[in-house]
Amino acid sequence: MSTKPVLYYTPRSPPCRAVLLTAAAVGLELDLRPMNLKAGDHLTPEFLKLNPQHTIPVLDDNGIVISDSHVICSYLADKYGPNETLYPKEKVKRMEVDARLYFDCGHLFPRVRFMVEPVIYFGCDNISEDKIVYMQKAYDGLEKCLANSPYLCGEHLTIADLCCVASVSTAMIFAAIDAEKFPKLSAWVERMATLPYYQKNNQDGADILGKFVKEKLIENKAAKAE
Ligand SMILES: N[C@@H](CCC(=O)N[C@@H](CS)C(=O)NCC(=O)O)C(=O)O
């Protein structure tokens, strides 16, 4: 008998939230298994058997094990999506969505992690201006994608929007989006926030991370001053 797909995750992680958003978009219930990275849950022998790269999210859909949020979102949309718009089957359109997913993977999310991980894990007591400016430079790519359409790949919401917004909504807590410079991007973030499943599956987790990093900055500063 097939059971609900299991998701190893933490709500504060942007890639994990991209999967939560996609599952909600296709109306799929997941068996959620919270992970504590600080405690090393991702480094146990059992977890390493699932994902030797020791990253979350990891999806286990009745024995089909997938790591990397972008691949998981593609899989969920293909297998459970009620229509083809979320991850188009037509080749050229699909490549466009994939290009935006790679943009998140190679540009957006890495710049988020360079801002927050040194604070969370290595006692860093500030997010330097160069990291903030570098993050903001990546906003320009999204602004240009949105030049003629409400979503990153045209008229329809796709998994590219869901993956990118998980990173951007986190990034903007530390690297503000200048609405004059990036009006389309600002409007897109607001549009995404109106999705009925957005708050629970993305914003709540982004807020938890934002609060945690801000508290960590204070804690790390105090530790340095001692
Ligand atoms: N490209 C991966 C990145 C996943 C990732 O780096 N996740 C972080 C949490 S936000 C993680 O698992 N870090 C633990 C580690 O790298 O060991 C994805 O999209 O799934």
Runs of H (alpha helix) within the chain: 14-26, 45-50, 69-80, 91-103, 109-121, 129-145, 159-174, 183-193, 198, 204-225
- Locate 25 and state its tokens: 């978009």
Q: Is 211 helix (H, G, I), strand (E, B) or coil?
A: helix
| Candidate of 17, 33, 56 to mutate for ligand 1, largest count of ligand atoms within 8 Å of Cβ | 56
pLDDT confidence of residue 226: 83
Query: Is pLDDT above 90 for 153?
Result: yes
Kindly give the distance from the C-alpha atom of residue 37 to the centroid of ligand 1, in angstroms, as a whole number: 10
Active-site annotation holds for 74: no
pLDDT confidence of residue 1: 66
Q: How confident is the model at residue 163 (pLDDT cuts 50, 70, 90)?
A: very high
Q: What is the mean pLDDT of residues 73-81?
A: 97
Instruction: Verify whether ligand 1 is closer than 6 Å to residue 74 (CB atom).
Output: no
- Measured distance between the N- and C-terminal CA atoms of the chain, rounded to whole angstroms: 58
Domains belonging to the chain, first-starting first, are 6-80 (3.40.30.10), 91-225 (1.20.1050.10)
Q: How far apart (Å, rounded) are the C-alpha atoms in residues 37 and 8? A: 11
pLDDT confidence of residue 52: 98
Ligand 1 atom showing the smallest separation from residue 104 Cα: 19
Question: In this predicted model, what pLDDT tens digit does every residue of 205-226 receive, in sequence order?
Answer: 999 999 999 999 999 999 988 8
Question: In this predicted model, what pLDDT tens digit does every residue of 168-187 receive, in sequence order?
Answer: 999 999 999 999 999 999 99
Q: How far apart (Å, rounded) are the C-alpha atoms in residues 165 and 33? A: 23
Q: What is the mean pLDDT of residues 154-161?
A: 98
Q: Is the CB of residue 177 less than 8 Å from the CB of residue 140?
A: no
Kindly give the distance from the C-alpha atom of residue 181 to the centroid of ligand 1, in angstroms, as a whole number: 30
Q: How far apart (Å, rounded) are the C-alpha atoms in residues 40 and 182? A: 39
Q: How confident is the model at residue 83 (pLDDT cuts 50, 70, 90)?
A: confident
CA 205 to chain centre: 10
Percent of the chain past pLDDT 90, that is, above it, reads 96
Q: Is 40 left (phi over 0), alpha (psi -120 to 50) or beta?
A: left
pTM of the predicted model as reported, rounded to 2 decimal places: 0.97
The 8-class DSSP code of residue 29 comes to -
Ligand 1 atom showing the smallest separation from residue 67 Cα: 20
Instruction: Verify whether ligand 1 is closer than 6 Å to residue 81 (CB atom).
Output: no
Number of CB atoms found within 10 A of residue 22's CB: 28
Q: Is the CB of residue 160 less than 8 Å from the CB of residue 100?
A: yes
Nearest alpha carbon to residue 125 among 215, 39, 210, 38:
215
pLDDT confidence of residue 36: 96
Amino acid type, 103: F
Query: Is pLDDT above 90 for 2?
Result: no
Question: In this predicted model, what pLDDT tens digit does every residue of 10-59 receive, in sequence order?
Answer: 999 999 999 999 999 999 999 999 999 999 999 999 999 999 999 999 99
Ligand 1 atom showing the smallest separation from residue 54 Cα: 17
Query: Is pLDDT above 90 for 70?
Result: yes
pLDDT mean across residues, the chain: 97
Q: How far apart (Å, rounded) are the C-alpha atoms in residues 48 and 46? A: 6
Query: Is pLDDT above 90 for 115?
Result: yes
Q: What is the mean pLDDT of residues 55-74?
A: 98
Non-local (6+) Cβ contacts of 51 within 8 A are 42, 58, 65, 67
